[in-house]
Amino acid sequence: MERLQALEALGVQRIYLQFPGFTDLDHLELLAREVLPHFQ
C-alpha cells in the first residue's frame, strides 16, 4: 500500500497489475478487499 500511495502522491493516475499464470482467485479477492478501497 505504501508504494502505491507514494505513486499516487507523485501524480500517477493509472497503474497496471499483471498476474502471469493467474489461477488463484484468492489473490484477486485480496486485492479487491485490501487495496482497491484505498483508491477511487
Q: What is the pLDDT of residues 1-40, one digit of tens each?
A: 788 889 989 999 998 888 777 788 888 888 889 888 887 6
Residue type for 1, please? M
Q: Is residue 34, in this structure, part of any structural domain at all?
A: yes
Using alpha carbons, select from 37, 18, 34, 38 the residue that is nearest to residue 26: 34
**Counted domains in the chain:** 1
**pLDDT tens string 10-20:** 999 998 888 77
Residue type for 14, please? R
Q: Is residue 11, in this structure, part of any structural domain at all?
A: no
Predicted pLDDT of residue 17: 80
Q: Is residue 10, in this structure, part of any structural domain at all?
A: no
Q: What is the span of the domain harbouring residue 26?
A: 16-40
What are the strands, taking DSSP E only, across the chain? none
